[in-house]
Amino acid sequence: MSGIFYMSKEGLEKLQEELKYLKFVKRKEVARAISEAREKGDLSENAEYHAAKEEQGHVEAKISEMESKLANARIMDDRQMDTSKANILSTVEVLNVKMNKKMTFTLVSEAEANLKENKLSVSSPIGKVLLGKSVGDRVKALTPGGEMEFELLKIIA
């Protein structure tokens, strides 16, 4: 994994906390599960052991991915951003033209994306087409649900 990850300060702190949890809590839990399963005898037919080893692989892969993101993270300062165009950390109000529905999103890095919090990844189909656009621009995004058209109504921050 390479490339720069632009993040908010809050997003970076959240990523650091999650990494800390994985390294110092989850790793110990998995090691304990492996140890307990090992005590039950023959490892070749021990489903608990194999499940714990598989979980260990997932945890280590996640730790590696997060460490790479942190190594390449750059904090964006939203106070110094150009608000004439939609950028990462911009909060935008858009109109879904087909549904005639207004929506508000904050454009964030992939690591911070969370649709429940209206945080839209700049690498998502909609995020990609909104980047660099100005108020009044219309864009079309090819999403898994089909093509969607949006009009950029406001750039709030």
- List, for residues 59-99, the tens digit of each pLDDT value: 999 999 999 888 888 787 656 666 789 988 889 999 999 99
Would you tell me which CATH number, out of the four given (3.40.50.10490, 3.30.930.10, 1.20.1250.20, 3.10.50.30), belongs to the domain 78-155? 3.10.50.30
Say yes or no to pLDDT of 29 above 60. yes
DSSP state string for 117-151: GTEEETTSHHHHHHTT--TT-EEEEEETTEEEEEE
DSSP letter, residue 3: S
What are the structural domain ranges in the chain?
5-75, 78-155
CATH topology of domain 5-75: Helix Hairpins (1.10.287)
Q: Which of 63, 120, 61, 62 is nearest to 90 (CA)?
A: 120
Give the tens place of pLDDT for each residue, 121-148. 988 999 999 999 999 999 999 988 899 9
